[in-house]
Amino acid sequence: MTSHSSLKVERSELSVKSSPPVVGCSGTVSHPTHGGLKDLDYSILQQCMHCGMCLPTCPTYDATKMERNSPRGRISLMRAIADGKMDATRTFGEEMYFCLGCLACETACPAGVEYGHLFEVARSEVEKSGALNNPRRNAIRSVLLKGLFTRPHLLRLIGRGLWFYQASGAQWIFRTLKLNTLLPQKFRNLETQTPTARASFSCDIIRPVETPAAPRHRVGMLTGCVQDIVLSDVNRDTVDVLLANGCEVQTPKVQVCCGSLHAHNGELETASDLARRLIDSFDLENLDAIITNAAGCGSHLKTYGRLLEGDAAYSKKAAQWSAKLKDIHEFLSEIGIRQPQTTATPHRVTYHEACHLCHGQKITKQPREVLKSIPGLELVELPESIWCCGSAGIYNITQPEMASDLQERKLKNILTTGVDTVATANPGCHLQLVDGARRAGRSLEVAHPISLLARAYRAEKVVR
């Protein structure tokens, strides 16, 4: 593993070739085989003007001040490979995985560079080239990405085992006896970040179809994979909010992972397969919208149309899926949020913007509308609210030093607001902030904006 303090440019490691650049031509991404950078429409790579507007928004460049650790530096490396001037070496691979994929550069870019798309293709290039191959890494990726996270029943079995381990007191005993000190340092750090599993999965607390008294909309509900295990209560809250806003909710009992974890880690073929399976789980024709409450998942779910555009059997359905996919805050804003009819104790809350909600989906106003609709809630704006918290999928596992620095920076900003609750709309951010508060020894509630709204609706029923 490479820490951000030791990343240095070595020209020989980048394997720059002396051959002249290949003249780019307009084409399309080959989705059936998901080609690499040389198969990409060259105009996407040419969009970057190297203006530098992205530099102050990039957490890795901010930390190292090295050009290669910036979005435009990485795009230059990608373009060198597309031009045939450079091979996908280990150094290139490490650089692509040092990137958080937070997409802050997309928000800052005046040229509209699709960095998120380039980022995924570049990581796919790394995996296909085998630049980072080693037995241990290959085994872990095979078990997790192609094994565990493609089999929802197996994932739930692991989740049930984690719940029993925690609920039985075995985890408490393990930590009290300090048996975790026997683990290698890397695994010791991971053990302390273990999230708390819920006693019930989403299918245990959400019926396949739930209907309000006077339904105005019919929607499908996505329950996620990690969210289903550690934050199933957020899924229940989301369904309750949808019911309170006149929506019939259809929730398939068993849902596969959306594939965002795979796409962001260079496994585009597996991501495509999961997309097909998830699309087939829903009655797409008869739904007004497909609802997601997880920022990282939602950002990927909206790209199904592009991911499967070369698939004759699924391209039309995938395009329809992308058109109907809505983040919960986005959907409520479109149909009009019903304000809870209740009084509440004054409550000060700040809001951390998940990267793939504000940068990936450009949704910033709507979560604030949800929070401001709650009686008694005072929204305190968070300094650097759009700065990454360091979770970034599995980044806090693969790049713990950088992730820890970002986590500490985020917690310091939260604590300056003086609030006791921080709202955020992504399971990765949620767990990262909970862990950060624990490390800082501070009492801090982390909640989804929709969970806070659901509480207000429930208080409404108590008043009646």
Give the tens place of pLDDT for each residue, 253-302: 989 999 999 999 999 999 999 999 999 999 999 999 999 999 999 999 99
Report whether pLDDT(34) > 90.
no
Domains of the chain: 16-133 (1.10.1060.10), 135-338 (no CATH), 340-463 (3.40.50)
Tell me what pLDDT residue 81 has.
94
Kindly list the distances between the CA atom of residue 413 and the CA atoms of 53, 336, 433, in Å, as whole numbers in the listed order.
24, 32, 12
pLDDT bucket at 188, cuts 50 / 70 / 90: confident
Q: Which residue has the tokens 């070369």?
A: 310
pLDDT bucket at 67, cuts 50 / 70 / 90: very high
Among the residues of 293-335, which ranges form H helices? 295-301, 304-307, 315-324, 328-335
What's the average model confidence in pLDDT over 314-334? Answer: 97
The pLDDT mean for the chain works out to: 90
Percent of the chain exceeding pLDDT 90 equals 80
Give the tens place of pLDDT for each residue, 102-161: 999 999 999 999 999 999 999 999 999 999 999 999 999 999 999 999 999 999 999 999
**How many angstroms separate the first and last alpha carbons of the chain?**
57
The lowest-confidence range among 52-56, 171-175, 184-188 is: 184-188
Whole-number Å distance between alpha carbons of 24 and 34: 18
412 residue type, one letter: K
Tokens matching residue 37: 């950078």
Tell me what pLDDT residue 464 has.
52
Percent of the chain exceeding pLDDT 70 equals 91
Q: In this predicted model, which residue has the larger pLDDT, 392 or 190?
A: 392
pLDDT bucket at 462, cuts 50 / 70 / 90: low
* Sign of the alpha-carbon dihedral angle for 10, 16, 18, 21: negative
Give the tens place of pLDDT for each residue, 52-61: 999 999 999 9
Would you say 162 and 229 are in contact if contact means Cβ atoms under 8 Å apart? yes
Report whether pLDDT(27) > 60.
no
- Stated pTM of the model: 0.89
Whole-number Å distance between alpha carbons of 395 and 151: 22
Whole-number Å distance between alpha carbons of 24 and 385: 39
Report whether pLDDT(186) > 80.
no
What's the average model confidence in pLDDT over 87-112? Answer: 96
Q: In this predicted model, which residue has the larger pLDDT, 172 or 10?
A: 172
Report whether pLDDT(324) > 60.
yes
Tell me what pLDDT residue 40 has.
86
CA 111 to the chain's CA centroid? 24
Give the tens place of pLDDT for each residue, 373-416: 999 999 999 999 999 999 998 898 889 999 999 999 999 999 99
Tell me what pLDDT residue 383 has.
97
Tell me what pLDDT residue 32 has.
42
Would you list the DSSP string of 361-429? S---HHHHHHHHTSTTEEEEPPTTTTS--S-TTTHHHHSHHHHHHHHHHHHHHHHHTT-SEEE-S-HHH
Give the up-direction half-sphere exposure of residue 318: CA atoms within 13 A in the CB hemisphere: 24
Taking the CA atoms of residue 413, residue 438, residue 441 and residue 410 in that order, the dihedral angle to the nearest 10 degrees is -10
Tell me what pLDDT residue 70 has.
97
pLDDT bucket at 3, cuts 50 / 70 / 90: very low
